[in-house]
Chains A and B, each alone.
Chain A
């Protein structure tokens, strides 16, 4: 079946450090891929997305590239801030079948000042 696996947290970094959160997927076909972010006490917000191989999604300094050959969609940011502390979810869906999104379990990120 279709699934998403992301690195377990929590991940703790100092401010201005480089961030990578790994995400790999298993899917039959070519899904669209997403990263969502959940700030404390809030719902999930779409952070970025990519809809086909080699696409790069980007937003707020975060980037992720759709790698079909490694079935991965790793999230990166060059210099994290304290305000980036949140839970990050990798997800996939097939938009021309139904619109259900399959989420990973989430990775909690703590940024220390």
Chain B
């Protein structure tokens, strides 16, 4: 009963280095999300994938890329890390959109991973 698994849990990078944050879910969810959490800023959406094969920008996509590798996995890549990307990163998943013709249906909300604490020096 793993839910959402993120790796690594901690990482220190030098400015300009690249890395990929991994995320996998075992709940057969359609949608997956990457957030960053900074003090006083709450959660900000970086990218999301409404369903396998699609990705879209969120509120703060600059400096990041994503790949929806399959239904289970959604990775976040920093091509050239900057100190401004020092943050805690959370992956989340959900059942996904139902569309305007589905009627008024209720979701169970998001399931979050435990986070990756990234420091860029």
Task: List the interface of chain A (C-beta within 8 A of B).
Answer: 32, 34, 36, 41-46, 49, 51-52, 89, 91, 93, 95-101, 103-106
Contacts and interface: CB of A to CB of B under 8 A. Distances in A.
Given A101-B94, A101-B109, A104-B42, 5 more contacts: A44-B43, A89-B43, A91-B109, A96-B100, A99-B94
B90 interface: yes
Contact of B96 (A43, A44, A99): A99
Interface on chain B toward A: helix, strand, loop, or mixed SS? loop
Contacts of A36: 109-110
Contacts of A46: 108-111
Given A99-B31, A103-B43, A105-B40, A93 B108 contact: no
Given A89-B43, A105-B40, A34 B109 contact: yes
B41 A95 contact: no
B30 to A, nearest CB: 8
Contacts of A43: 4, 90, 92, 112-115
Nearest to B109: A46
B114 A42 contact: yes
A9 to B, nearest CB: 11
Interface in B31-56: 31, 33, 40-43, 45, 48, 50
Interface residues of B, number: 33
Shortest 6 CB-CB contacts between residues of A and residues of B: A43-B112, A105-B42, A46-B109, A95-B107, A98-B97, A44-B112
Given A46-B108, A49-B109, A100-B48, A95 B90 contact: no
A96 B103 contact: yes
A99 B95 contact: yes
A48 to B, nearest CB: 10
A94 to B, nearest CB: 9
